[in-house]
Amino acid sequence: MTDDFKFSNASTLAAPATSAVAITPSDSAQLDRVSRAVFIGGAGDLAVLFANDATAVTLKGLVAGSILPVRVQKILSTNTTATNIVALY
């Protein structure tokens, strides 16, 4: 399939995601790479380690269907109640 936008701005953070991976929250495993954004399929809280931080932060009261423009290295199982989480790249 032809991709008319392949070389225009695909690598900038403002560009739309070009791949995605379903995430199982884990207190030990890091993501394969830092996310561009995170999709929340089921409402709840999301505990993360941001790309350049070592302190966990819990984002509370997230709405189902939200896309968070956050760059995270880890999505923690402790304090995460949101479901159907997808990392966007």
Residue range 6-48, pLDDT digits in tens = 665 556 778 889 999 999 999 999 999 999 999 999 999 999 9
Distance, CA of 55 to CA of 19 (rounded, Å): 27
What pTM was estimated for this model as a whole? 0.87
Exposed / middle / buried, residue 1 (Cβ in 10 Å: 0-12, 13-18, 19+): exposed
- pLDDT digits over 51-72, tens only? 999 999 999 999 999 999 999 9
Distance CA 2, CA 63 (A): 35
Domain ranges of the chain: 20-88
Residues 87, 58 contacting (CB under 8 angstroms): no
